[in-house]
Structure 1
Amino acid sequence: MRLSRAARVTLGALTALILVIVYVPLFVVLVNSFSTSTSLSWPPPGFTLEWWRRAFSSAGALEAVLTSVQVASIATLVSLVLGTLISLALQRFSFFGRDAVSLLVILPIALPGIITGIALNNFFRTIMGVPLSIWTVVIAHATFCIVTVFNNVIARLRRVGTNLEDASADLGAGVWTTFRLVTFPQLRSALLAGGLLAFALSFDEIIVTTFTAGSGVTTLPIFILNNMFRPNQAPIVAVIAVVLVLVSIIPIAIAQRLSGSEQQRR
């Protein structure tokens, strides 16, 4: 499709405007993390590395990072296992209600986080009678992290087809041998990309976490929210926000690169 010069200029201007709106606030946060001001005034009166030193020596911040890594790691592992199994079941087998099950699997990522949080909070506390803890956060995160793994794996399964698996079965290989030697090698990059996206999604999630975390569970996003308006804590929060952005960008960039490399090879 060929666009006129006016259309190209208009689209370019709109793209530039959107990128400015999205990334200028992030740039402001980055600059404020080096500001000498304790109230994040703009423009910064000076620059210092003091807030970075305090952030990396803060016991509360380090504990929050460790908690977020633990939650994201376990939720990602659970999502990889369940998301892969669900993808194989829905793509490789035909049964009554398959489309409905597929919709129910994808639905949690589309629901507003506050709805999911309230529903899981009521489920854990009222129906199950389970006290809120780090494990309730893991379960809550897994409900929407499964979707990222599911989408990546089922898309790959649709592209590769079943010819190689059928050939493996015809040669006498069992189900597990076929999965280990044929199916899994074809899914590795999709699993890695889905796992990285799931980890990033879990690591910076705050709404569902707020409703499902116990009083002693503080993830990094909750730590940021709790300290944002405390005296002399704003610059430290800015530092942590910058680190959180970097941690979120890295797995997403790797996942995108893996997906692009796979498409080029095909």
Structure 2
Amino acid sequence: MRLSRLSRTTLGVVTALILVIVYVPLFVVLVNSFSTSTSLTWPPPGFTLEWWQKAFQSAGAMEAVLTSVQIAIIATLVSLALGTLISLALQRFDFFGRDAISLLVILPIALPGIITGIALNNFFRTIMGVPLSIWTVVIAHATFCIVTVFNNVIARLRRMGTSLEEASADLGAGVWTTFRLVTFPQLRSALLAGGLLAFALSFDEIIVTTFTAGSGVTTLPIFILNNMFRPNQAPIVSVIAVVLVLVSIIPIYLAQRLSSDTEQKAP
């Protein structure tokens, strides 16, 4: 499709405007993390590395980082296992209600986070009678992290077809052997991409976490929210926000590269 010069110019201007709106605030946060001002005045009166040093020496911040990493890793592992099994079931088998189940699997990521958080909070505390803890956060994160794994794996299964698996079965291989030697090697990059996206999604999630975390559970986003308006804490929060952005960019970039490389290699 060829666009007119006016159309290309319009699209270019709109794209540039959107990028400015998205990334200029992030740039401001980055600059403020080096500002000598404790109230984040603009423009910064001076630049210093003091806040970066204090941020990495903050016991509360380091504990929050460790908690977020633990939750993200466990939620990602759970999502990889369940997302893969659901994908195999929905793609490889035909049964009544398959489309409805597929919709229910994808729905959690489409729902507003506050709705998911309230629903899970009521489920844990009222129905199950379970106290809120780090494990309720893991379960809550897994409900929407499964979707990223599911979407990546089921898309790969649709492109793979079943010919190689059927050939393996014809040669006498069992279900586990076929999965280990035929199916899994073709799913590895999709699983890695889905896992990286799930980790990034869990690591910086705050709305659902707020409703499902106990009083003793402080993830990094919650730490930022709690300290954002405290005296002399704003520059430290800016430092942590910059680190959070960097940590989120890396898995998303790797997942994008894996997905694009796989699509280029596909016949």
Deviations 1:51-94 (A, max 9, x none): 00000000000000000000000000000000000000000000
1:157 deviates by: 0.0
Q: After TM superposition, what 4+ stretches of structure 1 lie above 4 angstroms from structure 2? A: none
Listed as ranges, the matches of 1:24-39 within 5 Å are: 24-39=24-39
Separation in 1, partners of 2:232, 2:212:
29
Runs of 5+ unmatched residues, structure 2: none
Deviations 1:89-145 (A, max 9, x none): 000000000000000000000000000000000000000000000000000000000
Residue number in structure 2 paired with 1:221: 221
Residue number in structure 2 paired with 1:146: 146
Separation in 2, partners of 1:34, 1:256:
30
Deviations 1:3-60 (A, max 9, x none): 0001000000000000000000000000000000000000000000000000000000
Across the aligned residues of Structure 1 and Structure 2, the Cα RMSD in angstroms comes to 0.6
* % identical aligned pairs: 90
Deviations 1:182-231 (A, max 9, x none): 00000000000000000000000000000000000000000000000000
Separation in 2, partners of 1:187, 1:84:
9
Deviations 1:150-178 (A, max 9, x none): 00000000001000000000000000000
Residue number in structure 2 paired with 1:121: 121
Higher mean alpha-carbon deviation, 253-262 vs 240-249, is at 253-262
| Matched position secondary structure for 1:71 | helix
Separation in 1, partners of 2:264, 2:118:
40
| Matched position secondary structure for 2:22 | helix
Separation in 2, partners of 1:56, 1:262:
40
Residue number in structure 2 paired with 1:102: 102
1:265 deviates by: 5.0
| Matched position secondary structure for 1:64 | helix
| Matched position secondary structure for 2:155 | helix
1:250 deviates by: 0.2
Separation in 1, partners of 2:6, 2:100:
45
| Matched position secondary structure for 1:25 | helix
| Matched position secondary structure for 1:2 | coil
Separation in 2, partners of 1:81, 1:96:
23
CA 1:265–1:102: 2 relative to 1, 3 Å: closer
Say if 2:263 is the partner of 1:262.
yes
Separation in 1, partners of 2:136, 2:40:
35
1:2 deviates by: 0.5
1:263 deviates by: 2.8
1:264 deviates by: 3.9
Runs of 5+ unmatched residues, structure 1: none
- Size of the aligned set, in residue pairs, is 266
